[in-house]
Every structure is written in C-alpha cells, then in structure tokens.
Structure 1
Amino acid sequence: MRSRWWLPLLGAMLLGGVGLAGGLLRAPEYTSHTQFFVSTTESANASDVFQGSQFSQQRVSSYARLLTGEELAGRVVDRLGLDSTPRELTEQVTAEAVVDTVLIDVDVTDRDPELAQRVAATLGSEFIALVQELETPGADGVSPVRVTVTDAADLPDEPSSPAPWVYVAGCLLAGLLLGCAAAVLRQQLDRSVRDPGSAAELAGAPLVGIVLRDNSLQTRPTLAADDQGSTAEGFRQLRTNLQFLDVDRPPQVIMISSAVAGEGKSVVAVNLALTLTTAGRRVALVEADLRRPRAARYLGVPGEVGLTDVLAGQAGLVDVLQPLEGGSLSLIAAGPMPPNPSDLLASSHMTDVLNALRADHDYVVIDAPPLLPVADASGLAVAVDGVVLVVRHGATHKEQVRQARETVDRVGGRVLGVVLNVVPPKAAASVARGYGPGSAYAADADRLAPG
C-alpha cells in the first residue's frame, strides 16, 4: 500500500474535480415547504380524543403516500396547466410523516422558486379535497378526518441545491475509497517480488544484498571505489555477506544470474567484482553471457576476443585476460558469438578454465545468462561454488524466481543467496533493512569508508 499511496490521492483529485464541476454547472433548484395537520372531526370526551389521535396517526402514513402519488399530481397538473406529466411531477414532491405525530411535511422542488411555491400550495388544496372524497362514507356523509394546513407554502429565496462543497466533499470521499480499493486490488493482483522475505523464500536461500535504485547507473554502470552512496554501500554489504555465507569454506567461484533478462545481473556482477578488489582481493570477472554480453562494455574495454576463443581452442587463457584496476581485476570478455553457447558453457573446457582462474584468484565472478529463457546457465551452474540470483524489485514475478531456483536445483547446483535489485529508496524493503532515507545508515553515510 505504501508504494501505491498515489492511487487514493488521484481518485480524490479526479472525483473531487468532477464533483466541483458538477456542483457549479448544475442549475440551481428551489424548495418550497408546507405542512399538514391531520385530526378527527368529532371528539366528545377524553376517550374519543385518544381514539381520534390514534386514528389520525394511522392515517398520516397513508396520506404521505397519497401526496406523492400520480392521482394527486394529475390534479395539480390540470389545475395549473403544467407542461410536465403527473409522473414527472411526483419526482419533485417528497412527503414524510413526522414520527409519533399527526403532522406531514411536504417539500416541492423546482428550478423556478415561484412555481415551486404554487405547486406546493395547489398540492395542499387538492390534497384536502382528495382526503374529503376518500374519507366521506356517502353522498350526504361527513368525513371523520380533517386536514389543516399548518405551514403555508413558502417562497424560497435561496437555492436548496446544488451545494458545490457538499458535492466536492462527497466526491472526495468516494475518490479516496475508490483509490484505496484500487490500491488494495492492485496489491492483491501484483505477482512481482517487492520485499526481502518473499525473495528469500522463493529463492530458497538467504537474502545477501539489497541494491537501491541509482539512476546514474543507466549511463555509468560502474560505481567509483570511493562512492559513499547507498547503492555502493549495498554492494559492499553484498561482498561481506558472501564472505560469511560459509566461514570454513566461503564460495570462491560465484555465478551471478537471474530468472529473466533485464534484472540488472550484469551491473551486479561488475560492481561486485569491483567491490571485492577494494578489499584487496584478486578477482577474475568472466563474461559468460555469450548471447548478450555487457560486462566488457560496462568496463569500457574491448570484447572481440575472449571466452569463446579459449573454449574453441583458438586462444590461451593468458591471451584473453585483460588486467584492470591495477591488476587486481582480470576480465575475460565473451568474445565472438558462437553457434552453440549452451554446449560451450557446459563443456569440460569451461570447467578447466574455471579451475585455472580459481588457482590464481581469490574470487571468480561469472556474469551468466538468465536461467529461464535459455539453457546456457544450467550447465554452468554445476561447475561453480554457487549461484546468486538477482531479483528486480517490482519487476520479477514470484513464479519466475521459483522456476529459476528449481532450474538450479534440477541440475544439482546450489543457490547461495538472492539480491533484491533496483529497490526504490523509499520502498518498505529498503527502510526495513535500514537502507532508506531517515535510517541510521542514511544519517551516517558520510562517515562510512569503502572496504
């Protein structure tokens, strides 16, 4: 709900505007009020008075129905020569019997205040005549009921409607309710991963990092070694967590992958490798996404010769290693696009390459293809110490994370952990972990040093 706060606000603004426009554009209406008193004609003693009062109270509810009926409306239309039909006139009349009394309140509404008064007055006289006709037992009989006008029809001097601010208030409330309902519905229908707990549960592995969204990475995918921002701190936390996953046998050859493309795995792989070098480690970065290589371009180095040349026997490992960061980082670019990426990555030659890199480096970080679209990463998963799954906040579907984990499990691989990537700084996940604005980390960020 916190990430969808704008839906209730938008609903209130839209419907509030509609209510204001409707209230201002609608023609004013005026209401004339009149009131009737119902009594019995003869009351000789106290008992007659009591019985007459009960008789009158029983009659008023029926009379209220008569006042809004088409019979009486037809008489008023004929007497005043109105253009409207009896049915249309009944929609302008409201009658209500006052509880525990013999009074009936009647309101007549019309755009013309004088016509509203004339209709209300005529309605009163015609109503009295109609009651006399209905209650008189015979031609020479006497009606036991007497109807008296206690409040004559008044001439309204101010509109009874519309009241613009009433419309606005009602529409604002309706907009808020609809917006809240839309936010709840959208949350229920949202199948994407948005919190660390569900990411870890779906991956079947612990959360090893949260990387906050940094728009600058779109143009400059690598972070500087002395960067003190929250995103850089997220990569340093990822580095620390990976080192302590298994104190006795920490993972050395780590494959970075994702369920589908576009999750930011290459950015994570490159910046993790750079962050490891700031801690004094010798790191080899392998660009193993042979179909869509990104790492060499992110680091600003050529990638025409690389891993595929080594696996095809056309070059030696030492020939394609590109030293960076003063020699602490070595990059093996992807090289030319092969016709059979899956076979190359699952080959024994690939295992030999990884073993050679393992012997000469503290860490080997592999930027691997996504797990679900192609089978390239599946064969590679068994040759590494573990897989780190990159999950993009609000984009990766829960079922995709589950399927990615099952793919790794099916080939006998191991999911080391999950990284929740591109997390909005104000999202609940980042705040809960102490990474968001207002957290202790944000307040102390200027005091944190890299490494």
Structure 2
Amino acid sequence: MTVLDFLRLTGRSWRTLLIGVAIGLLAAFGYTQVQPHVFTANSSGFVMAGPAAEGGYIGGSEAAIAKAQSYIPLITSQPVYAKIAENPALGLAEGQALTGRLSASVAPGSNLIQVQASADSPSSAVALANGALQALADVITDLESQAGGGVSSVTVLPLQDAVEPTSPESPNLRNNLLIGAGLGLVLAYVFVFLRKALDVKVRNSKDLASAAGVGSLGRIPKSPQLMGKNRASNDADAIAAESFRRLRTNLRFASVDEEIRSMVITSSNAGEGKSTIATSLAQVLAQSNTPTILIDADLRRPTVASVLGIDGSVGLSEVLSGQVSLEDALTATKTPGLYALPSGRIPPNPSEMLGSEAMRSIIRLLSQDYIVVIDAPPLLPVTDAAILSTRVDGVVLVATAGRTRREDVGAARDMLSQVHGRLLGTVLNMVPPRDTADGYEYRRNRSYYVTADKKGMPVFKSSKGHVDLLEPQPEKNASAAISLAPRPNSQSSEQPPQAVVAQQQAPASETPSDLSSTPEVQGAPTRRSRRGA
C-alpha cells in the first residue's frame, strides 16, 4: 500500500476513525472517574553534620550531603513507620499500610532532603508528609546518638512544611484522554485494515475488473435522479447523464473487429440497477441519432414499461408465442429514435421462450437496422441471461459499489464463459461521489457539468455557488435545441409505428414496420449511416 492509498483509505474511513477516537476518549474518561484520587504533598529539611556551635552546617556541608544520601532508604523502614503510627495527629487508621505512600530524595549538590507523601485527600497528604519528615529526623537522631555514645552529630532541621495540593496527582485526566484517543485511533485503523483485508464486496473499478476479468466500460454515480420514478430520464442529473454518454462511447470502441449491434445488460443478482442502466443507455444511444430498440427480456420481473411510462400488456412474450406481430408489439417512446419492446405478460416458461429460435430471429432482424439493447434477468438466480448471451454480440455486466460480492461477479463470469458468451465489459453502478476514489473525478469536475433551465438554455454554476444563465442563443440554433428535446408519447400500443416515424420525418423504408416483412428486408436500405458519433 502506497502513501496515497493510505490517505484514500483514511478519507473513506474517517467516520470509523472518528468513532474509534470517541470511544477511546469515553473509555479514558470513565476509567479516570472510577480510579481513586491520590494527592501528593512535599516537605523538606536540612541535614546538618557536626556540632552546631562549630558551624557544622557550613563547615561540614560535604559530610552533611553524604549523611543525607545515606539516610534516604530509612524513609521506608519499619522504625519510621512506627514513629508515624505513634503520632495521633496523623489520624492513621489501625493497620493502615504506608507501603508505597512515602518516598525521599536529596536535592542535587545540596544537603536538602525532600519527603513526598501520598494520600486520598489533600489534608491527609499534608499531615503525612510533615509527620514522615519529623519521624525520619527522630530515627536519624536515635541512630546517631547510639553511634556517638549518646551524642548525635547529625541534625535534621525542618525547612518547609507541606502545602495542600489543589489537584490530584493521580489519575491524570489529560494524560488519560490523550492515551485513550491514541489507543482508539490505533484500534480503529486496525479495524479498517482488517475490514479491507476481509472485504468481499466490490468497492471500486479495480475490484470489479479483477473479479470479472475484463475492463470497465463506465462508472455511474449514485444520484437520487436515477431512483424511483426518476429513472425514465437521466437528464435531470448532468453528471449522471455524462457518465452514460461515456458508457455509450466506450461501448462503441469495445470491439475492434466488428460492430456491436446487440447487447445484453445484466447483473449478478437482482437490485443492482441493470434496468436503469439499460434504459438510460438506450436513451443516450437514441439521442446520438442512432436508431435504438430496447427489449425487456426480463420475463419474470419486467420494469421497462413502467420506467418508460408505456403500455406493457403486449410485448415480447406475445411475439414469441405468435399471438401478435413484432410490428404491433413495438412501441415508440418519448425519446426520438428509441423504440421499446415490453415484456408483455409473464409466461410460465421464460427460459424456453428466450432460448427459442424465434428470439434469435428477432434479435438478428432488429440488429440489422437498430442497436438492440436487451434488459435481461440477473445471471445467478436464473439462466435467462446466459441463454440470451449466445444470441447477441456481447454482454455488459452491472455491479453495485459496496453491495455486489466479488465471488458473485466471478460466478457470473464463469456462467458466461461456460455458454461461450462474450463479456464486453463491466459497469460499476451507484458510485459514491465523495466516499471512493472512483467518484473523485465527478466531485472534482462538478462545476464543469451544465444543466438546462425550463427554456432549454444551459445553466452554469460558478465556484462561489451563484448561478449564471447564458444569454439566449441565435435563432439558427433554436431548431437544434428543439429536435433534441424529448417529445410526449402520443402513440398507443395499437397505433402503427409508421405514424410515429412519420412524425419524426424519417423515410418510410426506415420504419419498424419493415421488421415484419419478408426476407426482402435484408436487401432494403439500412439505417447504419444514421449512427451518430
């Protein structure tokens, strides 16, 4: 992992890291509150060696320093503890231990001895520090008297009494909070790295390409305009619309040897956005002056008719069963140049119908003059998409960022490989614009994308957030703007497609009515020359 990968991982996991730090702070604060408070007080005194009348403090300073150093261990001796226990002013409870509560030291280069005492209250700490210094002085005097035949040559003079502390020495809230925050951050990073190592979901295009074994054709950002009833039009979100145009461009260069005239849009599992991508892709293909037909081949859970707002009672299942002709089942949509073949009624044998020779003939016939986009069921639950993959020029596999499992993508790839289906590439759907590296380009270039106002004029957003409307364009561009605008669907399912084609001012030889004609259609003029860039 590089430094850049680490920074990206940190940016994506900042919420987890923040929660880890917060938990560490709360744990440190709780630990501090339950710990007993310890207050520390200090007292000090001079050690004098030699007779005081002879100026022992000054003349014998070297001896005093040596004596002070030698008597430091006495502060934790039993005689000192006994002297402290005999002092009723200290208020020690019977049997109360003093181990670990007293310590002594000598100031460097001097004969100043310092006694430090710890207690559970400020007053107790002060009394214990003063009493310990006095007890130490008494024990030293007794020892020197015994050694000098009843005369002590060392005297400890109290210099400074202890002062009540204003805050406890332990626990230290500030230090505990810093330690807790540090430990929480470290544990959060450990969790993030473990989650990344054990993650089985597709998070970015690299994960998807590695699992599918093919390159990425596009990334669709997560947008509210592509959910629910808004799926019929991708123009509401300029960034999403541009991502579908990029997908259209990449599909045109997906095959070098031959042109892609028919394709299946599918996914590993249900609910990954394949129908939305199939519908939007068909729309942008038609908007580029490429005649397109969208077939809803999901005969189990059809959605194309509801998304496009057309009548789906008659469709593919009726055509395959011979109940209606293909000409009567095709329906014009609001997007000029885009026709739809709904699924029709749900049959009892979808797989057999999609694998029939009639389905192969329909795809072959339509792909002569149209780009055929087929919305197929997911690969893993049913075999419908695998069967259709053998009837088309290629398959586009859709996966959802943060939801699709890598092993599911691999299983879908293996299913296509077993039936010798051609996988053109993958599309990563619902890419978070702010949470992943794949969405960074959308966030970084957000100000470049434009939308249109109610009059069809472009609206630019400045970096400061205010909106600037462009002045109206010259009259010569008005017709082009009108021709690209979607038109309402004024045709019912019973209306012949010729009427719609006539409204679009297309030649009669290019209408879908030729789809039901005899084999002379193959010799008729085609619409390949009308494909846009």
Tell me the TM-score normalised to structure 2 length: 0.68
**Aligned positions, number:** 436
- Paired residue for 2:299, among 284, 287, 290? 290
Cα distance in 1 for residues equivalent to 2:301 and 2:82: 82
Cα distance in 2 for residues equivalent to 1:347 and 1:41: 119
Cα distance in 1 for residues equivalent to 2:112 and 2:342: 94
Instruction: Work out whether residues 389 and 421 of structure 2, in 8 Å CA contact, stay in contact via their aligned partners in 1.
Output: yes
1:362-387 deviation per Cα after TM superposition (whole angstroms, max 9, x unaligned) = x1111111112222222222222111
Tell me, what secondary structure is at the counterpart of 1:272?
A: helix
- Paired residue for 2:206, among 166, 174, 197? 197
**Counterpart for residue 443 of structure 1:** 448
Tell me, what secondary structure is at the counterpart of 2:117?
A: strand
**Counterpart for residue 82 of structure 1:** 92
Q: Is 2:403 aligned against 1:398? A: no
Instruction: Specify every segment of 5 or more residues in structure 2 that has no aligned partner in the other structure, as ranges.
Output: 1-8, 52-60, 452-457, 461-480, 485-532
RMSD in angstroms over aligned alpha carbons? 4.1
Instruction: Work out whether residues 263 and 421 of structure 1, in 8 Å CA contact, stay in contact via their aligned partners in 2.
Output: yes
**Counterpart for residue 487 of structure 2:** none
Instruction: Work out whether residues 223 and 237 of structure 2, in 8 Å CA contact, stay in contact via their aligned partners in 1.
Output: no
Q: Pairwise mapping of residues 25-424 of structure 1 onto structure 2 (< 5 A)?
A: 30-35=39-44, 60=72, 66=76, 76=84, 79=87, 80-83=90-93, 86-87=96-97, 89-90=98-99, 92-93=101-102, 106-127=115-136, 148=156, 152-161=160-169, 165=174, 168-222=177-231, 224=233, 226-227=235-236, 229-325=238-334, 328-361=337-370, 363-424=371-432
Tell me, what secondary structure is at the counterpart of 2:391?
A: coil
Cα distance in 1 for residues equivalent to 2:245 and 2:226: 16
Seen in structure 2, the aligned counterparts of structure 1 residues 223 and 338 have a Cα distance that, compared at 3 Å, is closer
Cα distance in 2 for residues equivalent to 1:416 and 1:390: 11
Instruction: Work out whether residues 56 and 145 of structure 1, in 8 Å CA contact, stay in contact via their aligned partners in 2.
Output: no
Greater mean deviation of Cα atoms: 263-272 or 195-204:
195-204
Greater mean deviation of Cα atoms: 173-182 or 235-244:
173-182
1:331-387 deviation per Cα after TM superposition (whole angstroms, max 9, x unaligned) = 1222222333333323333222221221241x1111111112222222222222111
The one-letter amino acid of 1:183's match is V
Tell me the TM-score normalised to structure 1 length: 0.79
Cα distance in 1 for residues equivalent to 2:397 and 2:435: 20
1:54-104 deviation per Cα after TM superposition (whole angstroms, max 9, x unaligned) = 8986875x557x37xx996676456444348535x5465566788999987
Cα distance in 2 for residues equivalent to 1:438 and 1:334: 40
Q: State the shift of 1:131 in Å.
A: 7.2
Instruction: Work out whether residues 287 and 367 of structure 1, in 8 Å CA contact, stay in contact via their aligned partners in 2.
Output: yes
Cα distance in 2 for residues equivalent to 1:147 and 1:257: 96
1:179-219 deviation per Cα after TM superposition (whole angstroms, max 9, x unaligned) = 44433333333322222222222211111111111012223
Instruction: Work out whether residues 77 and 86 of structure 1, in 8 Å CA contact, stay in contact via their aligned partners in 2.
Output: no
Cα distance in 2 for residues equivalent to 1:145 and 1:306: 118
Instruction: Work out whether residues 382 and 412 of structure 1, in 8 Å CA contact, stay in contact via their aligned partners in 2.
Output: yes
The one-letter amino acid of 2:412's match is A
Instruction: Work out whether residues 232 and 279 of structure 2, in 8 Å CA contact, stay in contact via their aligned partners in 1.
Output: no
Greater mean deviation of Cα atoms: 289-298 or 310-319:
310-319
Greater mean deviation of Cα atoms: 420-429 or 28-37:
28-37
Tell me, what secondary structure is at the counterpart of 2:438?
A: helix
Instruction: Work out whether residues 40 and 122 of structure 2, in 8 Å CA contact, stay in contact via their aligned partners in 1.
Output: yes
- Paired residue for 2:435, among 407, 410, 427? 427
Instruction: Work out whether residues 289 and 369 of structure 1, in 8 Å CA contact, stay in contact via their aligned partners in 2.
Output: yes
Seen in structure 2, the aligned counterparts of structure 1 residues 93 and 403 have a Cα distance that, compared at 3 Å, is farther
Tell me, what secondary structure is at the counterpart of 1:233?
A: helix
Q: State the shift of 1:320 in Å.
A: 2.0
1:114-160 deviation per Cα after TM superposition (whole angstroms, max 9, x unaligned) = 21111122233445566789x89x99999999795776441225224
Greater mean deviation of Cα atoms: 255-264 or 179-188:
179-188
Tell me, what secondary structure is at the counterpart of 1:343?
A: helix
**Counterpart for residue 45 of structure 1:** none
1:261-280 deviation per Cα after TM superposition (whole angstroms, max 9, x unaligned) = 22111111110111111001
Instruction: Work out whether residues 210 and 234 of structure 1, in 8 Å CA contact, stay in contact via their aligned partners in 2.
Output: yes
The one-letter amino acid of 2:359's match is M
**Percent identity (aligned):** 31
Seen in structure 2, the aligned counterparts of structure 1 residues 52 and 24 have a Cα distance that, compared at 3 Å, is closer
Cα distance in 1 for residues equivalent to 2:107 and 2:381: 74
Tell me, what secondary structure is at the counterpart of 1:314?
A: coil
Instruction: Work out whether residues 262 and 393 of structure 2, in 8 Å CA contact, stay in contact via their aligned partners in 1.
Output: yes
Instruction: Work out whether residues 432 and 439 of structure 2, in 8 Å CA contact, stay in contact via their aligned partners in 1.
Output: no
Tell me, what secondary structure is at the counterpart of 1:289?
A: coil
Tell me, what secondary structure is at the counterpart of 1:325?
A: coil
Cα distance in 1 for residues equivalent to 2:380 and 2:152: 89
Seen in structure 2, the aligned counterparts of structure 1 residues 225 and 112 have a Cα distance that, compared at 3 Å, is closer
Instruction: Specify every segment of 5 or more residues in structure 1 that has no aligned partner in the other structure, as ranges.
Output: 43-48
The one-letter amino acid of 2:420's match is G
Tell me, what secondary structure is at the counterpart of 1:408?
A: helix
Tell me, what secondary structure is at the counterpart of 1:429?
A: coil
Higher RCO, 1 or 2 (CA under 8 Å, sep at least 6)?
A: 1
Cα distance in 2 for residues equivalent to 1:57 and 1:197: 70
The one-letter amino acid of 1:317's match is L
